Structure 1
Protein backbone atom coordinates (compact mmCIF):
# COMPACT_ATOMS: atom_id res chain seq x y z
CA UNK A 1 0.00 0.00 0.00
CA UNK A 2 1.49 3.39 -0.95
CA UNK A 3 2.32 6.05 1.63
CA UNK A 4 -0.76 8.18 2.15
CA UNK A 5 1.27 11.03 3.65
CA UNK A 6 3.65 11.69 0.79
CA UNK A 7 3.92 15.32 -0.25
CA UNK A 8 3.84 14.95 -4.01
CA UNK A 9 3.81 18.55 -5.15
CA UNK A 10 2.84 20.62 -8.09
CA UNK A 11 4.39 19.04 -11.14
CA UNK A 12 2.01 20.39 -13.76
CA UNK A 13 2.40 16.97 -15.37
CA UNK A 14 1.34 15.17 -12.23
CA UNK A 15 -2.27 16.15 -11.60
CA UNK A 16 -4.40 16.28 -13.54
CA UNK A 17 -1.92 16.87 -16.35
CA UNK A 18 -0.40 13.46 -15.63
CA UNK A 19 -3.16 12.28 -17.92
CA UNK A 20 -2.46 15.15 -20.35
CA UNK A 21 -5.56 17.12 -19.49
CA UNK A 22 -4.69 20.67 -20.41
CA UNK A 23 -1.88 22.45 -22.20
CA UNK A 24 -1.30 25.36 -19.82
CA UNK A 25 -2.80 24.65 -16.40
CA UNK A 26 -2.83 27.48 -13.89
CA UNK A 27 -2.78 30.45 -16.24
CA UNK A 28 -6.22 31.61 -15.07
CA UNK A 29 -5.30 31.81 -11.40
CA UNK A 30 -2.31 34.00 -12.22
CA UNK A 31 -4.78 36.80 -12.93
CA UNK A 32 -5.77 36.61 -9.26
CA UNK A 33 -2.13 36.82 -8.19
CA UNK A 34 -1.44 39.89 -10.35
CA UNK A 35 2.36 39.79 -10.02
CA UNK A 36 4.07 43.17 -10.22
CA UNK A 37 7.59 44.11 -11.30
CA UNK A 38 10.12 43.87 -8.50
CA UNK A 39 7.97 41.75 -6.19
CA UNK A 40 9.51 38.67 -4.61
CA UNK A 41 7.11 35.78 -5.30
CA UNK A 42 7.48 32.13 -4.30
CA UNK A 43 5.80 29.34 -6.27
CA UNK A 44 4.89 26.50 -3.85
CA UNK A 45 4.93 23.19 -5.73
CA UNK A 46 6.35 24.69 -8.91
CA UNK A 47 6.72 21.39 -10.76
CA UNK A 48 8.07 21.95 -14.27
CA UNK A 49 8.53 25.68 -13.65
CA UNK A 50 6.17 26.92 -16.35
CA UNK A 51 4.10 29.08 -14.03
CA UNK A 52 7.20 30.27 -12.18
CA UNK A 53 8.47 31.48 -15.55
CA UNK A 54 5.13 33.21 -16.24
CA UNK A 55 5.47 35.04 -12.93
CA UNK A 56 9.04 36.05 -13.77
CA UNK A 57 7.90 37.33 -17.17
CA UNK A 58 5.83 39.96 -15.34
CA UNK A 59 9.01 41.45 -13.95
CA UNK A 60 8.66 39.84 -10.53
CA UNK A 61 11.57 38.11 -8.83
CA UNK A 62 10.20 34.59 -8.98
CA UNK A 63 11.46 31.52 -7.12
CA UNK A 64 10.02 28.03 -6.83
CA UNK A 65 10.14 24.98 -4.60
CA UNK A 66 8.97 21.43 -5.20
CA UNK A 67 9.42 18.22 -3.25
CA UNK A 68 10.24 16.23 -6.39
CA UNK A 69 13.96 16.49 -7.17
CA UNK A 70 13.23 15.07 -10.62
CA UNK A 71 10.75 17.87 -11.33
CA UNK A 72 13.21 20.45 -10.05
CA UNK A 73 15.95 19.14 -12.31
CA UNK A 74 13.63 19.32 -15.33
CA UNK A 75 12.58 22.83 -14.40
CA UNK A 76 16.18 23.99 -13.97
CA UNK A 77 17.11 22.57 -17.37
CA UNK A 78 14.15 24.34 -18.96
CA UNK A 79 14.58 27.62 -17.05
CA UNK A 80 18.21 27.85 -15.89
CA UNK A 81 17.75 31.51 -15.00
CA UNK A 82 15.14 30.77 -12.33
CA UNK A 83 15.77 30.04 -8.65
CA UNK A 84 14.07 26.65 -8.29
CA UNK A 85 14.94 24.28 -5.46
CA UNK A 86 13.85 20.98 -3.91
CA UNK A 87 12.08 21.57 -0.60
CA UNK A 88 9.21 20.24 1.50
CA UNK A 89 6.37 22.77 1.69
CA UNK A 90 5.49 21.61 5.21
CA UNK A 91 8.94 22.55 6.51
CA UNK A 92 10.00 25.40 4.23
CA UNK A 93 11.52 28.46 5.92
CA UNK A 94 13.18 31.54 4.48
CA UNK A 95 15.20 34.38 6.05
CA UNK A 96 14.01 36.97 3.52
CA UNK A 97 10.21 37.21 3.34
CA UNK A 98 8.27 37.22 0.09
CA UNK A 99 5.64 39.65 -1.13
CA UNK A 100 3.46 36.77 -2.31
CA UNK A 101 3.24 32.99 -2.27
CA UNK A 102 1.52 31.26 -5.19
CA UNK A 103 0.49 27.64 -5.65
CA UNK A 104 -1.32 25.76 -8.40
CA UNK A 105 -2.39 22.08 -8.48
CA UNK A 106 -0.16 21.14 -5.56
CA UNK A 107 -1.83 21.59 -2.18
CA UNK A 108 -4.27 18.70 -2.54
CA UNK A 109 -1.23 16.39 -2.48
CA UNK A 110 -0.28 17.46 1.06
CA UNK A 111 -2.58 16.14 3.81
CA UNK A 112 -0.90 18.27 6.50
CA UNK A 113 -2.57 21.48 5.36
CA UNK A 114 -1.97 23.23 8.68
CA UNK A 115 1.80 22.80 8.34
CA UNK A 116 1.68 24.20 4.81
CA UNK A 117 -0.39 27.20 5.94
CA UNK A 118 2.18 27.90 8.65
CA UNK A 119 5.03 27.67 6.12
CA UNK A 120 3.23 30.12 3.83
CA UNK A 121 2.55 32.52 6.72
CA UNK A 122 6.21 32.48 7.77
CA UNK A 123 7.39 32.95 4.17
CA UNK A 124 5.38 36.16 3.71
CA UNK A 125 6.09 39.71 4.81
CA UNK A 126 3.41 41.42 6.87
CA UNK A 127 0.52 42.15 4.52
CA UNK A 128 1.87 39.70 1.93
CA UNK A 129 -0.63 37.72 -0.07
CA UNK A 130 -1.26 34.03 -0.69
CA UNK A 131 -2.98 32.89 -3.88
CA UNK A 132 -3.67 29.24 -4.62
CA UNK A 133 -5.77 26.87 -6.67
CA UNK A 134 -6.06 23.16 -6.00
CA UNK A 135 -8.56 20.30 -6.00
CA UNK A 136 -11.44 20.69 -3.56
CA UNK A 137 -14.32 18.74 -2.09
CA UNK A 138 -16.15 16.67 -4.69
CA UNK A 139 -13.14 16.42 -6.98
CA UNK A 140 -13.46 13.35 -9.25
CA UNK A 141 -16.45 12.19 -7.21
CA UNK A 142 -18.14 10.36 -10.10
CA UNK A 143 -14.94 8.64 -11.15
CA UNK A 144 -13.78 7.62 -7.68
CA UNK A 145 -17.29 6.34 -6.88
CA UNK A 146 -17.18 4.16 -10.00
CA UNK A 147 -13.74 2.88 -9.00
CA UNK A 148 -14.82 2.09 -5.45
CA UNK A 149 -17.93 0.23 -6.64
CA UNK A 150 -15.94 -1.80 -9.17
CA UNK A 151 -13.28 -2.68 -6.60
CA UNK A 152 -15.86 -3.74 -4.04
CA UNK A 153 -17.70 -5.87 -6.60
CA UNK A 154 -14.42 -7.71 -7.25
CA UNK A 155 -13.75 -8.35 -3.56
CA UNK A 156 -11.40 -5.44 -2.80
CA UNK A 157 -11.80 -2.86 -0.04
CA UNK A 158 -13.19 0.40 -1.38
CA UNK A 159 -12.07 2.75 1.41
CA UNK A 160 -8.72 4.41 2.07
CA UNK A 161 -7.48 4.72 -1.51
CA UNK A 162 -7.95 8.39 -2.32
CA UNK A 163 -4.56 10.12 -1.89
CA UNK A 164 -5.75 13.75 -1.91
CA UNK A 165 -6.64 16.39 0.65
CA UNK A 166 -9.97 17.75 -0.62
CA UNK A 167 -11.42 20.38 1.73
CA UNK A 168 -14.63 22.33 1.36
CA UNK A 169 -14.35 26.06 0.88
CA UNK A 170 -15.40 26.61 4.50
CA UNK A 171 -12.87 24.13 5.84
CA UNK A 172 -9.95 25.69 3.99
CA UNK A 173 -10.94 29.32 4.57
CA UNK A 174 -11.34 28.50 8.26
CA UNK A 175 -7.91 26.89 8.35
CA UNK A 176 -6.32 29.98 6.83
CA UNK A 177 -8.11 32.26 9.28
CA UNK A 178 -6.90 30.18 12.22
CA UNK A 179 -3.41 30.34 10.71
CA UNK A 180 -3.30 34.16 10.77
CA UNK A 181 -4.68 35.07 7.35
CA UNK A 182 -7.56 37.25 6.26
CA UNK A 183 -9.30 35.52 3.36
CA UNK A 184 -10.12 38.03 0.63
CA UNK A 185 -11.42 35.70 -2.09
CA UNK A 186 -12.68 32.13 -2.11
CA UNK A 187 -14.33 30.18 -4.92
CA UNK A 188 -15.30 26.51 -5.27
CA UNK A 189 -16.14 25.56 -8.84
CA UNK A 190 -16.48 22.58 -11.14
CA UNK A 191 -14.06 22.42 -14.04
CA UNK A 192 -14.65 19.41 -16.32
CA UNK A 193 -11.31 18.51 -17.89
CA UNK A 194 -11.08 16.69 -21.23
CA UNK A 195 -8.79 13.69 -21.38
CA UNK A 196 -6.60 13.65 -24.46
CA UNK A 197 -5.32 10.61 -26.27
CA UNK A 198 -6.81 7.36 -27.50
CA UNK A 199 -6.48 5.64 -24.11
CA UNK A 200 -9.31 7.73 -22.67
CA UNK A 201 -10.14 7.01 -19.06
CA UNK A 202 -7.83 4.00 -19.02
CA UNK A 203 -4.80 6.22 -19.40
CA UNK A 204 -5.84 8.11 -16.27
CA UNK A 205 -6.48 4.88 -14.38
CA UNK A 206 -3.03 3.60 -15.29
CA UNK A 207 -1.47 6.88 -14.14
CA UNK A 208 -2.98 6.50 -10.67
CA UNK A 209 -2.83 2.72 -10.35
CA UNK A 210 -0.30 2.94 -7.50
CA UNK A 211 -2.95 4.62 -5.35
CA UNK A 212 -6.18 2.96 -6.40
CA UNK A 213 -5.13 -0.49 -7.61
CA UNK A 214 -1.96 -1.25 -5.66
CA UNK A 215 -3.40 -4.54 -4.34
CA UNK A 216 -5.32 -5.62 -7.45
CA UNK A 217 -4.27 -8.93 -8.96
CA UNK A 218 -3.26 -8.65 -12.64
CA UNK A 219 -5.98 -11.15 -13.54
CA UNK A 220 -8.64 -8.79 -12.13
CA UNK A 221 -7.41 -5.52 -13.61
CA UNK A 222 -9.08 -5.74 -17.03
CA UNK A 223 -12.44 -6.70 -15.56
CA UNK A 224 -12.27 -3.85 -13.04
CA UNK A 225 -11.32 -1.35 -15.74
CA UNK A 226 -14.29 -2.45 -17.87
CA UNK A 227 -16.61 -2.09 -14.89
CA UNK A 228 -15.30 1.41 -14.15
CA UNK A 229 -15.75 2.46 -17.77
CA UNK A 230 -19.32 1.14 -17.78
CA UNK A 231 -20.24 2.89 -14.51
CA UNK A 232 -18.55 6.21 -15.33
CA UNK A 233 -19.44 6.52 -19.01
CA UNK A 234 -22.97 7.97 -18.59
CA UNK A 235 -21.56 10.88 -16.57
CA UNK A 236 -18.06 11.36 -17.94
CA UNK A 237 -18.17 10.55 -21.67
CA UNK A 238 -19.81 12.72 -24.30
CA UNK A 239 -19.66 12.04 -28.04
CA UNK A 240 -16.58 9.86 -27.65
CA UNK A 241 -14.74 12.36 -25.44
CA UNK A 242 -13.95 11.50 -21.83
CA UNK A 243 -13.91 14.23 -19.17
CA UNK A 244 -12.65 14.24 -15.61
CA UNK A 245 -15.17 15.70 -13.16
CA UNK A 246 -12.63 17.97 -11.52
CA UNK A 247 -13.59 20.46 -8.83
CA UNK A 248 -11.30 23.29 -7.74
CA UNK A 249 -10.78 25.70 -4.88
CA UNK A 250 -9.36 29.10 -5.78
CA UNK A 251 -8.43 31.30 -2.85
CA UNK A 252 -6.62 34.51 -1.96
CA UNK A 253 -5.60 35.65 1.51
CA UNK A 254 -3.48 38.27 3.23
CA UNK A 255 -1.05 37.70 6.10
CA UNK A 256 -2.19 39.37 9.32
CA UNK A 257 -1.68 38.37 12.95
CA UNK A 258 0.55 35.58 14.24
CA UNK A 259 -1.79 32.89 15.60
CA UNK A 260 0.97 31.54 17.86
CA UNK A 261 1.32 34.79 19.85
Structure 2
Protein backbone atom coordinates (compact mmCIF):
# COMPACT_ATOMS: atom_id res chain seq x y z
CA UNK A 1 0.00 0.00 0.00
CA UNK A 2 1.33 3.43 -0.95
CA UNK A 3 1.12 6.33 1.47
CA UNK A 4 -0.54 8.31 -1.31
CA UNK A 5 -3.17 5.67 -2.10
CA UNK A 6 -6.71 7.01 -1.78
CA UNK A 7 -9.63 5.26 -0.09
CA UNK A 8 -11.31 4.41 -3.44
CA UNK A 9 -8.01 3.00 -4.72
CA UNK A 10 -7.74 0.76 -1.67
CA UNK A 11 -11.24 -0.63 -2.19
CA UNK A 12 -10.63 -1.03 -5.92
CA UNK A 13 -7.59 -3.16 -5.07
CA UNK A 14 -9.52 -5.21 -2.50
CA UNK A 15 -12.58 -5.81 -4.69
CA UNK A 16 -11.57 -9.34 -5.65
CA UNK A 17 -11.52 -10.58 -2.03
CA UNK A 18 -14.13 -8.26 -0.52
CA UNK A 19 -16.82 -10.27 1.33
CA UNK A 20 -15.40 -13.50 -0.10
CA UNK A 21 -14.04 -15.16 3.05
CA UNK A 22 -16.99 -14.39 5.34
CA UNK A 23 -20.35 -12.86 4.29
CA UNK A 24 -20.00 -9.92 6.67
CA UNK A 25 -21.42 -7.17 4.45
CA UNK A 26 -24.00 -9.52 2.95
CA UNK A 27 -25.40 -10.42 6.36
CA UNK A 28 -25.47 -6.78 7.44
CA UNK A 29 -27.15 -5.98 4.11
CA UNK A 30 -29.88 -8.50 4.92
CA UNK A 31 -30.48 -6.87 8.32
CA UNK A 32 -30.33 -3.36 6.83
CA UNK A 33 -33.07 -4.14 4.31
CA UNK A 34 -35.15 -5.84 7.00
CA UNK A 35 -35.17 -2.51 8.85
CA UNK A 36 -35.61 -0.29 5.81
CA UNK A 37 -38.31 -2.38 4.10
CA UNK A 38 -38.52 -0.52 0.77
CA UNK A 39 -41.66 -1.19 -1.21
CA UNK A 40 -41.82 -2.99 -4.53
CA UNK A 41 -41.16 -0.61 -7.40
CA UNK A 42 -39.33 1.93 -5.23
CA UNK A 43 -36.36 3.68 -6.81
CA UNK A 44 -33.42 2.67 -4.62
CA UNK A 45 -29.87 4.10 -4.62
CA UNK A 46 -27.18 1.85 -3.12
CA UNK A 47 -24.60 4.52 -2.31
CA UNK A 48 -21.09 3.13 -1.85
CA UNK A 49 -22.39 -0.21 -3.06
CA UNK A 50 -19.25 -2.31 -2.64
CA UNK A 51 -20.00 -5.64 -4.26
CA UNK A 52 -23.74 -5.18 -3.90
CA UNK A 53 -24.61 -6.35 -0.38
CA UNK A 54 -27.63 -4.02 -0.35
CA UNK A 55 -28.30 -4.21 -4.07
CA UNK A 56 -29.19 -7.91 -4.04
CA UNK A 57 -31.68 -7.61 -1.20
CA UNK A 58 -33.21 -4.45 -2.68
CA UNK A 59 -33.75 -6.32 -5.94
CA UNK A 60 -35.35 -9.17 -3.99
CA UNK A 61 -37.75 -6.59 -2.54
CA UNK A 62 -38.74 -5.52 -6.05
CA UNK A 63 -36.89 -2.20 -6.09
CA UNK A 64 -35.46 -0.49 -9.13
CA UNK A 65 -31.83 -0.20 -8.12
CA UNK A 66 -29.04 2.17 -9.02
CA UNK A 67 -25.68 1.21 -7.49
CA UNK A 68 -22.73 3.60 -7.31
CA UNK A 69 -19.26 3.40 -5.80
CA UNK A 70 -16.02 5.35 -6.15
CA UNK A 71 -14.05 2.10 -6.65
CA UNK A 72 -14.27 0.82 -10.25
CA UNK A 73 -13.47 -2.75 -9.23
CA UNK A 74 -16.54 -2.85 -7.01
CA UNK A 75 -18.81 -1.42 -9.68
CA UNK A 76 -17.53 -3.92 -12.25
CA UNK A 77 -18.50 -6.81 -9.99
CA UNK A 78 -21.96 -5.42 -9.24
CA UNK A 79 -22.59 -4.89 -12.94
CA UNK A 80 -21.50 -8.45 -13.72
CA UNK A 81 -23.58 -10.03 -10.95
CA UNK A 82 -26.69 -7.88 -11.43
CA UNK A 83 -26.89 -7.01 -15.15
CA UNK A 84 -30.25 -5.27 -14.74
CA UNK A 85 -28.85 -2.72 -12.28
CA UNK A 86 -27.64 0.73 -13.31
CA UNK A 87 -24.13 0.43 -11.81
CA UNK A 88 -21.77 3.38 -12.13
CA UNK A 89 -18.53 4.77 -10.76
CA UNK A 90 -19.45 7.91 -8.86
CA UNK A 91 -18.24 10.21 -6.09
CA UNK A 92 -20.70 10.43 -3.18
CA UNK A 93 -19.80 14.11 -2.78
CA UNK A 94 -21.00 14.95 -6.31
CA UNK A 95 -23.68 12.55 -7.49
CA UNK A 96 -24.23 12.63 -11.24
CA UNK A 97 -27.94 11.99 -10.76
CA UNK A 98 -31.04 14.17 -11.25
CA UNK A 99 -32.87 15.87 -8.40
CA UNK A 100 -35.69 13.82 -6.87
CA UNK A 101 -34.61 10.53 -8.47
CA UNK A 102 -35.16 8.10 -5.57
CA UNK A 103 -37.52 7.11 -2.79
CA UNK A 104 -34.67 5.45 -0.85
CA UNK A 105 -30.95 6.09 -0.55
CA UNK A 106 -29.00 3.58 1.53
CA UNK A 107 -25.32 3.62 2.52
CA UNK A 108 -23.84 0.66 4.41
CA UNK A 109 -20.68 1.50 6.40
CA UNK A 110 -19.82 4.27 3.94
CA UNK A 111 -20.17 7.73 5.47
CA UNK A 112 -17.36 7.41 8.01
CA UNK A 113 -15.01 6.88 5.03
CA UNK A 114 -15.93 10.13 3.30
CA UNK A 115 -13.88 13.32 3.36
CA UNK A 116 -16.98 15.50 3.79
CA UNK A 117 -20.01 13.53 5.05
CA UNK A 118 -22.10 16.73 5.25
CA UNK A 119 -21.54 17.44 1.55
CA UNK A 120 -22.53 13.88 0.64
CA UNK A 121 -25.62 14.10 2.87
CA UNK A 122 -26.67 17.25 1.01
CA UNK A 123 -26.30 15.37 -2.27
CA UNK A 124 -28.45 12.55 -0.87
CA UNK A 125 -31.14 15.05 0.09
CA UNK A 126 -31.04 16.52 -3.41
CA UNK A 127 -31.57 13.20 -5.20
CA UNK A 128 -34.37 12.06 -2.86
CA UNK A 129 -38.01 12.87 -3.48
CA UNK A 130 -39.82 14.87 -0.76
CA UNK A 131 -40.52 12.42 2.03
CA UNK A 132 -37.82 10.07 0.73
CA UNK A 133 -35.75 8.02 3.15
CA UNK A 134 -32.00 8.19 3.69
CA UNK A 135 -30.55 5.34 5.78
CA UNK A 136 -26.96 4.63 6.74
CA UNK A 137 -25.19 2.26 9.08
CA UNK A 138 -22.48 2.96 11.63
CA UNK A 139 -20.67 0.45 13.85
CA UNK A 140 -22.11 -0.18 17.32
CA UNK A 141 -21.35 -2.30 20.38
CA UNK A 142 -23.10 -5.69 20.55
CA UNK A 143 -25.84 -5.89 23.16
CA UNK A 144 -24.93 -9.33 24.47
CA UNK A 145 -22.08 -8.73 26.91
CA UNK A 146 -21.58 -12.48 27.20
CA UNK A 147 -21.60 -13.04 23.44
CA UNK A 148 -18.71 -14.34 21.31
CA UNK A 149 -15.57 -12.20 21.47
CA UNK A 150 -12.25 -11.87 19.66
CA UNK A 151 -9.09 -9.84 20.13
CA UNK A 152 -9.30 -7.81 16.91
CA UNK A 153 -10.69 -4.62 18.44
CA UNK A 154 -8.21 -4.72 21.33
CA UNK A 155 -5.29 -5.22 18.94
CA UNK A 156 -6.39 -2.36 16.69
CA UNK A 157 -6.20 -0.03 19.66
CA UNK A 158 -3.01 -1.43 21.16
CA UNK A 159 -0.93 -1.39 17.96
CA UNK A 160 -2.19 1.94 16.59
CA UNK A 161 0.91 3.74 17.89
CA UNK A 162 2.99 1.81 15.34
CA UNK A 163 1.02 2.86 12.26
CA UNK A 164 2.92 4.33 9.33
CA UNK A 165 1.62 6.60 6.60
CA UNK A 166 -1.41 5.66 4.55
CA UNK A 167 -5.10 6.38 4.04
CA UNK A 168 -7.30 6.69 7.11
CA UNK A 169 -10.08 4.11 6.99
CA UNK A 170 -12.89 5.70 8.88
CA UNK A 171 -13.39 8.45 11.40
CA UNK A 172 -15.92 8.79 14.23
CA UNK A 173 -19.27 9.82 12.80
CA UNK A 174 -22.27 11.19 14.68
CA UNK A 175 -24.86 9.97 12.21
CA UNK A 176 -27.80 11.36 14.15
CA UNK A 177 -26.29 14.85 14.18
CA UNK A 178 -25.41 14.53 10.49
CA UNK A 179 -29.01 13.76 9.58
CA UNK A 180 -30.46 16.51 11.76
CA UNK A 181 -27.99 19.09 10.42
CA UNK A 182 -28.83 17.99 6.88
CA UNK A 183 -32.49 18.86 7.39
CA UNK A 184 -33.78 15.29 7.60
CA UNK A 185 -36.83 14.68 9.78
CA UNK A 186 -38.13 11.71 11.74
CA UNK A 187 -34.53 10.75 12.57
CA UNK A 188 -34.20 7.43 14.34
CA UNK A 189 -31.73 4.63 14.98
CA UNK A 190 -32.29 0.87 15.11
CA UNK A 191 -29.77 -1.65 16.41
CA UNK A 192 -28.84 -4.65 14.24
CA UNK A 193 -26.41 -7.53 14.82
CA UNK A 194 -24.90 -10.44 12.94
CA UNK A 195 -23.29 -13.66 14.17
CA UNK A 196 -21.31 -15.41 11.47
CA UNK A 197 -19.69 -18.84 12.00
CA UNK A 198 -15.98 -18.87 11.13
CA UNK A 199 -14.46 -22.24 10.14
CA UNK A 200 -10.95 -21.58 11.47
CA UNK A 201 -8.67 -18.78 12.76
CA UNK A 202 -6.93 -18.22 9.42
CA UNK A 203 -10.26 -17.56 7.72
CA UNK A 204 -10.94 -14.88 10.31
CA UNK A 205 -7.55 -13.30 9.51
CA UNK A 206 -8.17 -13.45 5.76
CA UNK A 207 -11.53 -11.77 6.29
CA UNK A 208 -9.94 -9.05 8.40
CA UNK A 209 -7.44 -8.43 5.60
CA UNK A 210 -10.04 -8.24 2.83
CA UNK A 211 -11.90 -4.99 3.57
CA UNK A 212 -11.17 -1.57 5.05
CA UNK A 213 -9.17 -3.03 7.94
CA UNK A 214 -6.54 -4.04 5.39
CA UNK A 215 -5.42 -0.42 5.15
CA UNK A 216 -4.72 -0.41 8.90
CA UNK A 217 -2.89 -3.74 8.79
CA UNK A 218 -0.78 -2.67 5.80
CA UNK A 219 0.31 0.47 7.64
CA UNK A 220 1.82 -1.60 10.45
CA UNK A 221 5.52 -2.57 10.25
CA UNK A 222 5.86 -6.20 9.18
CA UNK A 223 6.86 -7.35 12.65
CA UNK A 224 3.79 -5.69 14.21
CA UNK A 225 1.49 -7.07 11.52
CA UNK A 226 2.86 -10.54 12.27
CA UNK A 227 2.27 -9.91 15.97
CA UNK A 228 -1.35 -8.92 15.24
CA UNK A 229 -1.85 -12.10 13.21
CA UNK A 230 -0.18 -14.43 15.70
CA UNK A 231 -1.96 -13.10 18.79
CA UNK A 232 -5.34 -13.05 17.06
CA UNK A 233 -4.98 -16.58 15.67
CA UNK A 234 -3.70 -17.94 18.99
CA UNK A 235 -6.69 -16.45 20.83
CA UNK A 236 -9.20 -17.81 18.32
CA UNK A 237 -7.59 -21.27 18.46
CA UNK A 238 -8.58 -21.55 22.14
CA UNK A 239 -12.30 -21.28 21.36
CA UNK A 240 -14.65 -24.24 20.93
CA UNK A 241 -16.31 -22.35 18.08
CA UNK A 242 -15.42 -19.10 16.37
CA UNK A 243 -18.23 -16.62 15.81
CA UNK A 244 -17.80 -13.20 14.22
CA UNK A 245 -20.16 -11.13 16.35
CA UNK A 246 -20.64 -7.52 15.28
CA UNK A 247 -23.31 -4.83 15.60
CA UNK A 248 -24.36 -1.63 13.88
CA UNK A 249 -26.99 1.07 14.06
CA UNK A 250 -29.22 1.82 11.10
CA UNK A 251 -29.81 5.57 11.19
CA UNK A 252 -32.58 6.95 9.02
CA UNK A 253 -34.37 10.17 8.27
CA UNK A 254 -36.77 11.66 5.71
CA UNK A 255 -36.50 14.66 3.46
CA UNK A 256 -39.11 17.29 4.35
CA UNK A 257 -42.40 17.10 2.49
CA UNK A 258 -43.05 20.36 0.70
CA UNK A 259 -46.24 22.17 1.67
Q: TM over 0.5, yes or no?
A: yes
Which residue of the partner structure matches residue 146 of structure 2? Answer: none
1:21-40 correspondence to structure 2 within 5 Å:
21-22=23-24, 24-25=26-27, 26-40=29-43
1:113 aligns with 2:122: no
Q: 1:172 to 1:160 in 2, by over 3 A?
A: farther
How much does 1:22 deviate? Answer: 4.0
Checking the alignment, whether the CA contact within 8 Å between 2:217 and 2:225 is kept in structure 1 is no
Which residue of the partner structure matches residue 250 of structure 1? Answer: 250
Moved more, 206-215 or 85-94: 206-215
Q: 1:48 to 1:215 in 2, by over 3 A?
A: closer
Q: Which runs of 5+ in 1 are unaligned?
A: none
Checking the alignment, whether the CA contact within 8 Å between 1:108 and 1:166 is kept in structure 2 is yes
Which residue of the partner structure matches residue 152 of structure 2? Answer: 143
Which residue of the partner structure matches residue 78 of structure 1? Answer: 81
1:92 aligns with 2:95: yes
Which residue of the partner structure matches residue 6 of structure 1? Answer: 7
Q: Which runs of 5+ in 2 are unaligned?
A: 143-148
1:44 aligns with 2:47: yes
Return the TM-score normalized by structure 2.
0.75
Which residue of the partner structure matches residue 178 of structure 2? Answer: 175
CA distance in 2 between counterparts of 1:257 and 1:11 reads 41
Aligned residues: 246
Q: 1:200 to 1:57 in 2, by over 3 A?
A: closer
Q: 1:24 to 1:237 in 2, by over 3 A?
A: farther
Which residue of the partner structure matches residue 225 of structure 1? Answer: 229
SS in 1 for 2:44: strand
How much does 1:110 deviate? Answer: 2.4
SS in 2 for 1:185: strand
Checking the alignment, whether the CA contact within 8 Å between 1:67 and 1:87 is kept in structure 2 is yes
SS in 1 for 2:202: coil
Checking the alignment, whether the CA contact within 8 Å between 1:134 and 1:250 is kept in structure 2 is yes
